[in-house]
Amino acid sequence: MNRRLDVLVCSGAACVSSHSAEVKSALACEIDARGLSDEIRLVETGCMGPCELGPVLLIYPGGTFYVRVSPNDVAEIVEEHFLKGRPVRRLLWETPEARRIAEEKKQVPFFEKQQKIVLANCGEIDPENIEEFIATGGYEALGRALTEKSPEELIETLVASGLRGRGGAGFPTGLKWRFVARESGKTKVVVCNADEGDPGAFMDRSLLEGDPHSVIEGMTIAAYAVGANHGYVYVRAEYPLAIRRLKTAIEQARNAGLLGLNILETGFAFDLEVRIGAGAFVCGEETALIASIEGERGMPRTRPPYPSTSGVFGHPTLINNAETWGNIRHIVLHGAQWFAAIGTPQSPGTKVFALSGKVVNTGLVEVPMGTTLREVIFDIGGGIPNGKAFKAVQTGGPSGGCIPAEYLDTPIDYESLKKLGAIMGSGGIIVMDEDNCMVNIAKYFLDFTCDESCGKCVPCRAGTRQMLDLLEKITDGKGETADIDRLRSLGMMVASTSLCGLGQSAPNPVLSTLKYFGHEYQAHIHEHRCEAKVCPSMIRFEINPAACRACDKCRTVCPVTAITGKPGTPPYQLDAQTCIRCGRCAEVCPFDAIAINSGDLN
């Protein structure tokens, strides 16, 4: 029988970690056992987006979208859906707000509001099959660029499109291309920055895992435009799947004559090398990345000279982020006007975000620039789980700022976020709810940047350390009023005088929380009160005598025998001095008799 079903199994790293490979092999066995192998094709794709719900399956025709599939569901899916045509309703995505079951992927609110350009192929094609990429129009842009367009025309198209760097700084991509094209050097280099180091960010990874050819195509077009014959993709070693698929894709492109000495038989030569980084956050900074490619210690260098003048081994170097590269083929195919019409005039196009934290639908989303934070968090993200209240959203990873609820309607673009003291960054969005202590959050991010500082310049190396010590002092309940000013002035100094972007942006989480959540710092310092009841030094467990039924449960779980009492004779007593605030007693109490309180006792 002819093929009638395509079963797409998400094999992005998140689904792989929730055992999508086992689902896939179970499907293969079951399909085989029922003699359906000819009719049904199993395809491993890149990330489909809703990572929280993995493993996910997408079935065509029809676009049925199954979530949280386990190998145990496979027999039923094959029997009921593949054989009898009845989708297994219990595995469809039930959207909590409407209590509505989505029959098809496109009906799911998570997907409805998105506009996928860069990620259009992610989750829809097999990333290890170059023909599937070609089927979606892949390498057509390269073909047209090489045969119909001059390098100047391509650069003009890029400039006119208004595309800006997706790595965070938002520098106009076309201008960068122009700078490199104008350099007279004989050897020029093209680099893809896929050294995504922010905690909670996985845009570049998903693109390389789901559609590696789009990055290769974008880089090859750029190489032709600026006159480069050699390129590097710098990926961190923590992304083994992305590295494997990228290497496979490069190999396939070479074999097809789409990379190498005579691309599409036009005489143009370009080839790519994969460089694997050891996973230092600072290597996402372009000059440190270049140093690392050269085999040097990954430390930033002062600019100027910019990489466009002197980059890899001193050659003029065009370096763009993976997501930026993913945009190129679409701009060449559809034109600058088409691209400029998407998003906002100052920030055209779409942006991919990694949505994580206290939000119902975590995962990968792509929206037009200018979409508001509220739309991303509440419409696409499905809001805050467990009925909790939204507190803040952090954009731009550890170097970003925390934005409070009153600015939720801010459109996401480079300038608007910067105005709020946050940054676009590479696209991490971390949502925080009432249970997050903002002082603790600032401490968490600063701990990260302090640890990731390369140690070259004094403000970043020693300044972030002093700031972290101050934050620890405050969360330990030893803060003084003057510490707030100390934090602020250290933060300003580190931001103004650090050598590279890491240090310059490292104080953002502290400065933005001081600005929008200053009252939490005050409460920690003056009342020893942690509103969110997070900082262990400021919380205490107390037994409410009226609610205690002397069931003895709490006493038996307490690891330090801080609770005393006799079964049946309430109330039990909790000795605050002995208590280590582990919280086990509150967890087991059937009567909610154990309260967590914070703040000085009057």
Partner 1 sequence: MKLEELRQIRERASKELSLRKGNARIKVVIGMGTSGIAAGARDVMAAFLDEISVRNLTDVVVTQTGERGLASSEPVVDVLITGEPKVSYGQMTADKARRVVVEHLVNGNAVTDFVIEVRG
Partner 2 sequence: METIRLKIDGREITAQAGQTILEVAKENGINIPTLCHLDGVEDVGACRLCIVDVHGQLVTSCTTKVGADMDVQTQTAPVKEYRRMILELLFAEGSHVCSFCVSNGGCELQDLACDLEMHSVRVPYSFPRNRIDATHPQFLIDRDRCVLCGRCVRVCAQVEGAHTWGFAERGSTARVITDLAVDWGQAESCTSCGKCVESCPTGAIVRKGASNAEMRKKADLVGRLTERREHE
Q: Rule CB under 8 A: which residues touch partner 2? A: 280, 282, 297, 299, 301-302, 304, 450-459, 461-466, 469, 486, 489-490, 493, 496-499
Does residue 41 contact residue 3 with C-beta atoms inside 8 Å? yes
Q: Which is nearer to partner 2, 390 or 445 (CB)?
A: 445
User: Mapping DSSP to helix (H, G, I), strand (E, B) and coil, where does residue 533 land?
Assistant: coil
Q: Which residues contact 134 (CB under 8 A, 6 or more apart)?
A: none
CB of 41 to partner 1, least distance (A): 8
Q: Which is nearer to partner 2, 68 or 303 (CB)?
A: 303
Q: Checking DSSP bridges between strand 539-543 and strand 594-598, what pairing results, if any?
A: antiparallel
Can you tell me which of 28, 29, 75, 83 binds partner 1, judged by CB under 8 A? Answer: 83
Q: Which x/- pattern over 93-132 shows residues binding partner 1 (rule: CB under 8 A)? A: -------------------------------xx-----xx
Can you tell me which of 42, 88, 134, 493 binds partner 1, judged by CB under 8 A? Answer: 134
CB of 313 to partner 2, least distance (A): 16
Q: Which is nearer to partner 2, 20 or 308 (CB)?
A: 308
Can you tell me which of 14, 20, 51, 62 binds partner 1, judged by CB under 8 A? Answer: 62
CB of 124 to partner 1, least distance (A): 6
| E strand or H helix at 367 | strand 363-368
Q: How far apart are CA 11 and CA 123, in angstroms?
A: 8
131 binds, among partner 1, partner 2, none (CB under 5 to 8 A by kind): partner 1
The reply on whether position 265 binds partner 1 by CB under 8 A is yes
Residue matched to tokens 């009160």: 529
Reduced 3-state DSSP string for 438-455: HHHHHHHHHHHHHHHCCC
Q: How far apart are CA 59 and CA 4, in angstroms?
A: 11
What is the amino acid identity at position 138? Answer: G
Q: Which is nearer to partner 1, 265 or 592 (CB)?
A: 265
- CA distances (Å), origin 554, targets 40, 420, 570, 580, 582: 55, 46, 12, 14, 12
Q: How far apart are CA 263 and CA 280, in angstroms?
A: 34
95 binds, among partner 1, partner 2, none (CB under 5 to 8 A by kind): none
What b-and-e string marks burial along 436-465, b requiring 16 or more CB atoms within 10 Å of the CB? bbbbbbbbebbebbbebbbebbebbbebbe
Q: Which is nearer to partner 1, 201 or 258 (CB)?
A: 258
The reply on whether position 2 binds partner 1 by CB under 8 A is yes
Q: Which is nearer to partner 1, 134 or 588 (CB)?
A: 134
| E strand or H helix at 238 | none
469 binds, among partner 2, partner 1, none (CB under 5 to 8 A by kind): partner 2
75 binds, among partner 1, partner 2, none (CB under 5 to 8 A by kind): none
250 binds, among partner 2, partner 1, none (CB under 5 to 8 A by kind): none
94 closest CA partner among 67, 76, 119: 67
Can you tell me which of 33, 76, 112, 137 binds partner 1, judged by CB under 8 A? Answer: 137
Q: Supply angle C-alpha 414, 419, 423, rounded to 5.
A: 45
Can you tell me which of 29, 88, 101, 264 binds partner 1, judged by CB under 8 A? Answer: 264
CB of 145 to partner 1, least distance (A): 10
Does residue 487 contact residue 507 with C-beta atoms inside 8 Å? no
Q: Which stretch binds partner 1 (CB under 8 A): 140-148, 151-159, 234-242, 480-488?
A: 140-148
Q: What single-letter DSSP state applies at residue 328?
A: H
Q: How far apart are CA 84 and CA 34, in angstroms?
A: 12
The reply on whether position 268 binds partner 1 by CB under 8 A is no
CB of 56 to partner 2, least distance (A): 38
CB of 98 to partner 1, least distance (A): 23
The reply on whether position 85 binds partner 1 by CB under 8 A is yes
Q: Which is nearer to partner 2, 222 or 467 (CB)?
A: 467
Q: What single-letter DSSP state applies at residue 432?
A: E
Q: Which is nearer to partner 1, 137 or 345 (CB)?
A: 137
Q: Which x/- pattern over 202-241 shows residues binding partner 1 (rule: CB under 8 A)? A: ----------------------------------------
The reply on whether position 140 binds partner 1 by CB under 8 A is yes
Can you tell me which of 111, 139, 378, 407 binds partner 1, judged by CB under 8 A? Answer: 139
Burial of 497 (0-12, 13-18, 19+ CB in 10 A): middle
Rg of the chain on CA atoms, in Å: 27
Binding residues for partner 1, total number by CB under 8 A: 36
CB of 138 to partner 1, least distance (A): 8
Does residue 490 contact residue 497 with C-beta atoms inside 8 Å? no
489 binds, among partner 2, partner 1, none (CB under 5 to 8 A by kind): partner 2
2 binds, among partner 2, partner 1, none (CB under 5 to 8 A by kind): partner 1
Dihedral sign for Cα 211, 215, 220, 225, please.
positive
The reply on whether position 257 binds partner 1 by CB under 8 A is yes
Burial of 541 (0-12, 13-18, 19+ CB in 10 A): buried
Q: Checking DSSP bridges between strand 317-321 and strand 428-433, what pairing results, if any?
A: unpaired
4 binds, among partner 1, partner 2, none (CB under 5 to 8 A by kind): partner 1
CB of 200 to partner 1, least distance (A): 31
Terminal CA-CA length for the chain: 80
Token digits for 99?
A: 């209590």
Does residue 358 contact residue 433 with C-beta atoms inside 8 Å? yes
Within 10 angstroms of residue 600's Cβ, the number of other Cβ atoms is: 10
Binding to partner 1 (CB under 8 A): which residues in 27-46?
Answer: 39
Q: Supply angle C-alpha 410, 500, 296, rounded to 5.
A: 135
Interface with partner 1 (CB under 8 A)? 1-6, 8, 39, 60-63, 83-86, 124-125, 131-132, 134-140, 143-144, 146-147, 256-258, 264-265
